[in-house]
Structure 1
Amino acid sequence: MFLKNSPATVTLISRRCTRRLGTRMWRRGANLEGDTANFIETEQLLEFEGARISFLQIRGSIPLLWEQIVDLSYKPRLNIIDHDQTSKVVERHFSDLCQRYGDILVADLTDKNGDEGRLSMAYAAEMEKLQNIRYVSFDFHHSCGNSNFDNIELLYDQIAEDFEKQGYFFIGKEGEVLSEQKGIMRTNCVDCLDRTNVTQSFLARKCLNSQLQRVGILSSTDCISMFSEDFEIFKNLWVDQGDEISLEYSGTHALKRDLVRYGKQTMAGMIKDGISALSRYYLNNFQDGIRQASCFLFDSLLDAIDLISGRCDVNTSRPSSAQLNGFETFSYIPVASALLIGGLTVTSITLNQVGVAGRNAQTIVSSVICAGVTAGLMAVVKSNGRQICSKPRLCRLI
């Protein structure tokens, strides 16, 4: 980018932790060692005339023991696992972060109602037990919705002082260290994808403004958003990065991309988000179990250690996780689909006959029976959703 004819390079580097790999619905929360799902360190690197400035942020699933098993529901129920090691898990997680990064500032973006609210309350209760870690709860959906992106300033107002104290790592033109980052911002929502990416891009922009002012590219009253072409490059960089992280974890592009690009949702963006949401539903229910098994294979050495130590349970009634043919899941899908489609078709035909033949009692009774049978089939399929959905065959207990 060229700000005021000064060439500068901004690079984003995201590093995924390999200690709790997996897909969106099959890797939630933390394990007993305190490793969390979708844990990613993102570095924003600014290079200008030989000087290099690095700013780090992290994201990761809420470090409690919890799960959200797919069952054909659009939004499966979230289950917080009652375990006597929960507090130790949280302590281990943040102890590791403190050793690596220094002071930790936590922003929890989850909702305050429903299942997310229960998870957020449990998280807040555990965070109260920890010393020297600041936890801030910010209901992103309530505050920002789809069109009030500027309200994220409400979060920044709460954390600005601590966030700015953490600073960034600055190496001058001669290789001298001019400043160091003294802590890190940990951001999470439920998936650590969409809301998290919007928030991290906002914080990265705040930090970039400070860096550009320090090296003299911008004055103290300037900000990158005043330079439309360069600002567009910066926003696209964060959108692309969010997409890559989301593709690995959920299988689709990130949602809320328009909030990063335009500061509000557009109609085109809402349609794309809807398509991505439907794609996530399909992948979560019918593909991610197989993808999770491939993660186990990739992590085969750790799996072997876990099997020996007893942290894995092999379901002997099913094939090994090395057999990725997906027969078990997909043997149910055609049967369930055929029954539902057949029931809906017969019901539609009989209802059409009612319209043609008038109020014929026999036809009406037939329609009611077909509709009832179809509804019953739908209820049976829904109640057996966990058996129909794709699931990994090598199952970690926690």
Structure 2
Amino acid sequence: MQISSVVQIRGSIPLFWSQKTSRLNLKPDIRLSKNDPNYKATRLHFENLVERYGNPIIILNLIKTCEKKPRETILCTEFANAVTFINKGSTKEDHLRFIPLDLHKLSRNGASIVLEHLARAAAYALNLTGFFYYQVRPNCGQEDLLNFSCFKPNDEYSILSDKVDAVEKLKKDVNKDIGYSSEIDYIKPLVFQKGVLRTNCIDCLDRTNVAQFAYGFMALGHQLHALGFTKSSNIELNNPLAEDLMRIYETMGDTLAIQYGGSAAHNKIFSQRRGQCKAATQSQEFFRTLQRYFSNAYMDAEKQNAINVFLGHFQQGKPAPWEFDSDHHHNVRTHGSNSLSENARYVVSHC
């Protein structure tokens, strides 16, 4: 039995920023807070990622790099400044890898160009992080799999290093232990993923979903090759596997977008790739834009109220949750009030 997996994550831009909901403006202005001039919160966020996933952390930033009226570019510039500031205080090996890729600009040239650029970024990231692969030994029982004892690497061989001699020694010793004598039928060494690709756009829905598909597709080719199902790690986009994986990511993207934005995801790139006519795609995108607008303008306030109640900000004798700003949780922590009163817990538990 062989096991393989790869991890990638999506996340919002780790800065203090907001945009005021407006019923008259489809794209409200983005406001950047100046509460963190030394990017302390941003640094803590990436330190947490390193603690969980290891180095390197690769940041794929998909927001716009050029606009007539600065909006996304405000965040793009500040995010780049934050990464530069953090990297100045770390060693070269620990540097954050920052990849700016204006997906909106690229999309004007068609889906093929977008996927081509994303494939390059995905190949770069996958080459740095690798992916998890393990060939389970025949003498490894179900209990060993459940308690992860099968996955403990042998430090003597430095499996994750680039020392070919150590890996070859491991192959020979393992095969000798389990009775393999053939040079072909051997147990492949355990390999871990190190580091992670972190992708973001503004809301981490539409553009992010396309980028995650590109990375997942690139990783799938390498995984199938490692598992012995294909002779090459490259899979062409016209392969049926690409269409199947695209539909999986499309379904995932729609689910997340409906939950967060009130409509299915904008799947312009996927639609173009499948050959859907331009008029149908434009009609679909326009309808989903209207759904998002309605949700943002009329439903977001109720969502924020529910979040504030869930976080325990509704306390008797104090303003109701619907009177709080969206950044109230940050302001509460800033002033050192992290605890809830008994009354607050009582109200939350009975809402």
Residue in 1 that maps onto 2:323: 393
Label 1:83 to 1:192 Cα distance change in 2 as closer, same or farther (>3 A): same
Match of 2:45 among 81, 89, 93: 93
**1:216 to partner: Cα distance:** 1.4
Structure 2 residue 52 is the aligned partner of structure 1 residue 110: no
Label 1:75 to 1:146 Cα distance change in 2 as closer, same or farther (>3 A): farther
Alignment of structure 1 residues 1-398 onto 2, 5 Å = 50-72=1-23, 73-84=25-36, 87-102=39-54, 103-112=56-65, 113=67, 114-131=70-87, 132-145=95-108, 147-157=110-120, 160-174=123-137, 176-177=150-151, 178-220=190-232, 223=235, 225-228=237-240, 230-256=241-267, 258-259=269-270, 262=273, 266=277, 267-300=279-312, 303=313, 316=319, 320-321=320-321, 392-395=322-325, 396-397=327-328, 398=330
Q: Which segments of structure 1 move beyond 4 Å, counting only runs of 4 or more?
A: none
Q: Using the alignment, how far apart are the partners of 1:127 and 1:287 within structure 2?
A: 34
Residue in 2 that maps onto 1:20: none
Is the contact made by 1:107 and 1:186 (CA closer than 8 Å) also made in structure 2?
A: yes
For residue 59 of structure 2, give the secondary structure of its aligned residue in structure 1. Answer: strand
Is the contact made by 2:246 and 2:270 (CA closer than 8 Å) also made in structure 1?
A: no
**1:251 to partner: Cα distance:** 1.4
Is the contact made by 1:104 and 1:134 (CA closer than 8 Å) also made in structure 2?
A: yes
**1:260 to partner: Cα distance:** 6.7
Is the contact made by 1:61 and 1:191 (CA closer than 8 Å) also made in structure 2?
A: yes
Amino acid corresponding to residue 76 of structure 1 in structure 2: P
Label 1:86 to 1:153 Cα distance change in 2 as closer, same or farther (>3 A): farther
Label 1:92 to 1:98 Cα distance change in 2 as closer, same or farther (>3 A): same
Is the contact made by 2:118 and 2:215 (CA closer than 8 Å) also made in structure 1?
A: no
Is the contact made by 1:253 and 1:276 (CA closer than 8 Å) also made in structure 2?
A: yes
Is the contact made by 2:217 and 2:242 (CA closer than 8 Å) also made in structure 1?
A: no
Structure 2: give runs of 5+ residues left out of the alignment: 88-94, 138-144, 152-189, 331-351
Q: Using the alignment, how far apart are the partners of 1:282 and 1:226 within structure 2?
A: 37
For residue 218 of structure 1, give the secondary structure of its aligned residue in structure 2. Answer: coil
Q: Using the alignment, how far apart are the partners of 1:263 and 1:182 within structure 2?
A: 34
Is the contact made by 1:105 and 1:163 (CA closer than 8 Å) also made in structure 2?
A: no
Q: Using the alignment, how far apart are the partners of 1:147 and 1:282 within structure 2?
A: 29
Q: Using the alignment, how far apart are the partners of 2:255 and 2:46 within structure 1?
A: 26
The number of equivalent residue pairs is 266
**1:222 to partner: Cα distance:** 5.2
Is the contact made by 1:232 and 1:261 (CA closer than 8 Å) also made in structure 2?
A: no
Q: Using the alignment, how far apart are the partners of 1:142 and 1:258 within structure 2?
A: 13
Is the contact made by 2:13 and 2:200 (CA closer than 8 Å) also made in structure 1?
A: yes
Is the contact made by 1:64 and 1:86 (CA closer than 8 Å) also made in structure 2?
A: no
Residue in 2 that maps onto 1:331: none
Q: 1:362-388 CA distances to partner (integer Å, 9 max, x unpaired)?
A: xxxxxxxxxxxxxxxxxxxxxxxxxxx
Q: Using the alignment, how far apart are the partners of 1:147 and 1:155 within structure 2?
A: 13
Q: Using the alignment, how far apart are the partners of 2:38 and 2:261 within structure 1?
A: 26
Q: 1:130-179 CA distances to partner (integer Å, 9 max, x unpaired)?
A: 23111111111112237234334335435634432201122323355421
Q: Using the alignment, how far apart are the partners of 1:265 and 1:130 within structure 2?
A: 44
Is the contact made by 2:222 and 2:234 (CA closer than 8 Å) also made in structure 1?
A: no
For residue 219 of structure 1, give the secondary structure of its aligned residue in structure 2. Answer: coil
Q: Using the alignment, how far apart are the partners of 2:198 and 2:299 within structure 1?
A: 30
> C-alpha root-mean-square deviation of aligned residues, in Å?
2.6
For residue 179 of structure 1, give the secondary structure of its aligned residue in structure 2. Answer: coil
